[in-house]
Amino acid sequence: MDFGTEEGFVDYGKIYQERFGLLRKAYERSHVTEIPEFCRFCEKFSWWLDDYALFMAVKDRFGGKSWIEWAEDIRLRWGFALDYYRRELYFEIEFYKYLQFKFQEQWLKLKEYANQQGVEIIGDIPIYVAFDSADTWASPQLFQLDGNNIPTAVAGCPPDAFSETGQLWGNPLYRWEFHRNQGFDWWIKRMEHCFRLYDVVRIDHFRGFDEYYSIPYGDLTAENGHWKKGPGMELFYAIHRRLGEKRIIAEDLGYMTDSVRALVRESGYPNMRVLEFAFNSKDSENAGDYLPYNYNKNCVVYTGTHDNETLYSWYENLDAADRQMLLDYIRKEDGEIEEICKEVIYLAMSSVANYCIIPIQDYLGYGNMARMNMPSTLGKNWKWRLKDGEIGEELLKEIHRITKLYGRCRK
C-alpha cells in the first residue's frame, strides 16, 4: 500500500484512495453479522448510523458527487427511493456501519489506555456541519434551505486580520427556531455522543451561538454578510438539563462584543486566551484581553492555536513595535528567537489560567513549515505530523521541569 513518501506530512489523497482496499478486506473477513457487539452498536446508534451509512453508500453509487447532484428521488429522500437504495446497496451500507463500529471500538480502547495513564482527551465539535454531509441530506429541516434544499445563506466570518474579504466557510446555517421547538434534541445528541469519545469538549466558534454571520448564498466573499441572533443560553440550559454537568471549553476567539462576553460568563465555561494575540499595538483595546494580567482562573491559555503561526515564525514576523511590546513585557532586551519563545511558553505556564496548552511545534521551536492551518486557504492544511524520534528525552525532561515548576504537574 502506498500512503505517501513524506514521513513528516500526511498525503490525504493517497490515504483516502488506498485505505479502502484494506478496509474492505477486513469487512469481508469479519463475518460481521455474527458479532453480537456489532449488532448492539447498530441498534444503539441507529439514530445517526443508518442515515450516515446510507448516505455514504449512495454517494459512492453516484461517483462521489455532492448529494445535491444526485437523482431527484434520493436527493429529496422520497420513500420509495430510500427503500430501493437500502435493498440495492445493503452490503455497502453494512460496510460503512462496520467501519464506524471498528473506529469506535479502537478509539475507546485508546481512550481507556490514555485515561489509565492520567491523560485526558479534549475533543473539538464544530459549530457547523458540511453542506455535503449526512446531517444536511437526512435532516434538511434543521437548516436554512429552500424548497429544493439549496441554502439560502451560508456561514463564515467578516473581514479580519486573517482575511481582508472575510472567511466564506459555506456551511449551511441552522434554523434555530426549529431547533428550539424540538428542545434542541439534535444538538444535545451530538454533545452526548462527543462525551462518549472525549473527556472534555471544546465547542468551536462559540460566539456563533450569540450571533452568527450570515452570508447570502452564491456570494464569492464574506463581505456582504450580516450578523443574526443565535440561540444564546437556551441551548446550553437544554444541554445541562439533559446531560448534567459536563466539561466544556468555549472557543470564543474572533470578533468579540459585550453580548458574546456575557454569554461566555453566563455559561460558566472556560474560554480561550491566546498569547500571540496579546502583543498587537494596532488593536491594543482588544489585545489587552489576552495579556496574562487580565486572565481569571476559568480560562485556557495557548501560545497559539492551530490557526496561528508557530511561535517561532510569529516572533520572527512581528513588526518592530509589537516585538518591543513583547520584550518589555517579558523584561528582555532581545535575544535568540529560541530563548524568546521559551519565555513566552513560561508566560503561559505561569499564568493563573486553569488550563495551559502549548503546541508541540512551539516546544520544538519549529517555524511555519510545521503550521497546522492557514484560515481561508486550501490544499496545504492539517498535513504536518511528528516523526518518530522528534521528541527526545531532553525535551521530555524540559517539559516536565516547566510543568512541575509552575504547579501544573500531577506527579
> Which of 60, 204, 234, 398 is the catalytic position?
204
Q: Name the grid cell of 280.
A: 498587537
**If you search the block for the grid coordinates 439514530, which residue do you land on?**
47
283 is annotated as an active-site residue: no
Helices (H) and strands (E) in the chain, counts: 17, 10
> Which of 307, 316, 343, 398 is the catalytic position?
307
> Which of 251, 276, 309, 362 is the catalytic position?
251
336 is annotated as an active-site residue: no
Query: Per-residue b/e over 68-92, b at no fewer than 16 CB within 10 Å?
Result: eebeeebbebeeebeeebeeebeeb
- How many other CB atoms are there within 10 angstroms of residue 202's CB atom? 21
Contact yes or no for 343/312 (Cβ under 8 A): no
Q: Name the grid cell of 108.
A: 475507546
Contacts of range 28-36, beta carbons closer than 8 Å, 24 or more positions apart: 30/98, 32/94, 32/98, 32/101, 33/94
307 is annotated as an active-site residue: yes
Phi then psi for residue 9, to 5 deg, are -140, 145
Contact yes or no for 352/297 (Cβ under 8 A): yes
Query: Per-residue b/e over 47-67, b at no fewer than 16 CB within 10 Å?
Result: ebbbbbbbbbbbbebeeeeeb
Contact yes or no for 251/205 (Cβ under 8 A): yes
User: Distance between CA atoms of 316 and 344, rounded to whole angstroms?
Assistant: 13
* Residues catalogued as catalytic: 204, 251, 307
